[in-house]
Structure 1
Amino acid sequence: MQERNLGRTGLRVSRTGLGTMTWGTATDEHEARDQLIAFVEAGGNLVDTANVYGAGASEELLGSLVGDVVPREELVIATKAGFGLRRGQRVYDTSRGYLLSTLDLSLRRLGVDHVDLWQMHVWDDGTPLDETLAALDTAVSSGRAAYVGISNYTGWQTAQAATWQQAVPGRAQLASTQMEYSLVNRAIEAEVLPAAAACGLGVLPYSPLGKGVLTGKYRGGIPSDSRGASEHAGKIEAYLDEGSRGIVESVVRAADGLGWTPLEVALVWVRDRPGVTAPIVGSRTTVQLKAALGAEDKELPPEIRAALDDVSESAA
């Protein structure tokens, strides 16, 4: 698998990342083990998790495999923080104390002394930005994180955070931003992508398959045994409207013409967009993951890419 630099850093990551949101919940330890082996054997190294995934189960499961199944040095481990639990309800909390305690807990779950990329999962209006960013500085200066990034920040939030970190020598520079991006959701193109490019951030798209809609499996509705019907999947109804259906049909036609799968068409489109470093692919099963890894050696013809750009313009 080809590798790319993460933003303006020297960190090299595979151009497809492995997402682990379902690990420890919909994906059991056996499937997780097989997924990690298949991913690394395909040349992948970027594995993305978060403290909130499965209330820590994802990190714990990944940690049980690091060193045992795959050597630590072969992985770029990325995790996130910023969600807290109050009386059983999820809340935003990016206060310095909470973030650093969360990072320490993530390190224990993962069984490592540092993560390669630590990301702020959300923007928190309740905490001053300089306090949140100070936690990133501490994480890097203490050796608990090699690089830091953000996730789910708007364009102006991205620019403000990155500029603050660049303003004073010694602060931890932001390496990346993680945002939803696919043919059925191109909203980040208006402000986030330009901000990331101007500030030197790599972009790690999540849900590059539109929560699975772009694979074509929901054309006849939501199967009861699909991820779309799972409580872990997030709502996909927004991508089942008439506009999205038209995009899906175009992806299916392109796949038929190329002899590819719709998944491969949708994934390659995102992977090779300007500014993108690596889409994060989350799969419940190893079979699904291997289907995504099959896109590695593919490249969309310019005329098909242009046609998909045009048909999905409404999603921008």
Structure 2
Amino acid sequence: MDVLELLGRLSEAPGVSGDEGAVRTILKEAIKPYVDKMRVDALGNLIAVRRATQENPMRVMVEAHMDEVGLMVIRAEKNGHLRFRKVGGIDDRILPAKRVKVGKEGIPGVIGIKPIHLLKGEEKKRVLGVDDLFIDIGVSSQEEAERLVKRGDRAVFDTAFDDLGLRVKGKAFDDRVGCAILGGLLAAGPYPVELYAVFATQEEIGARGARVAAYDINPDVAFVLEGTVADDLPKEKDESPTTELGKGPALTVMDRSVIVDPRLLRFLIRTAEAEGIPYQVKQPGVGGTDAGRIHLAREGVPSAVAAVPCRYIHGPASVLDKQDLNWTLQLMQAALRGISRDVLAR
């Protein structure tokens, strides 16, 4: 499987939380040759199983979420402009004048604002919020707009996937990069463990899909694959970045949703060092992932997180390093081949 090519297709697909169907369709076709069975559950999670090469295997859940942050149409104005709300965490500052695609048909639009020439006083100083913005799809009446777009339709940033040499640019790397790596893991199997690959829904609005999937599967351990914050950018003072591009997968110790199981963290570090794979430890306390829900399922699930650093996540375009993607895939392949119940011994 060409994981980078899969990432490109996933990146360009629309998949705002609760409307992940286009992403799921791509993944179902991509992983079909490599799985023993797959199904879609009540919340839309795609769950695939690759059977183990040995008897009495561990049940290992590896998860990545399909959804992305985006916008939802709430009404059309008399002049045809679309009012919207944010779905997930988007910085209001990056919205004005951005190109978007609206609804199932991908209707092109632009997020409009009051022209700078007409701003007065305090208007020039404050950040414009969603109440000040609208989506212009090129129509001039409410009737025209409502023929094309329905209340509740999602809108995504209109961003092409591009090769930048050692790096790539695209939208929704949080977490289409995790989905692409998980596809690659399935293709590289089988493993000594029974692999439950979960492509989850609705992470960006509360990690909802992963919660029910973990309850259903009841795994022995879980690994979450993510695209995480990289802020290796110029700073006014000397401070360490959260993660950096080109330094390998970022391993979580703690974020706002979970304290990673120390046994699994040590195991991932040992595995990376044994395989000669660079890695970095993500600055503790930043962000949150589906691990926050997974580790609380049933009697508890030992969980860990490995992430590809991505610049500008939750915006119209992100940048990641191809080698970080490859290293994360290699680390997880080695982890699935090397994990055993002894790792969990206390």
Structures share fold, TM-score greater than 0.5? no
* Higher strand proportion (structure 1 or 2): 2
TM-score by length of 1: 0.29
- Structure possessing the higher relative contact order (Cα contacts under 8 Å, 6 or more residues apart): 2
* Rg (Cα) greater in structure: 2
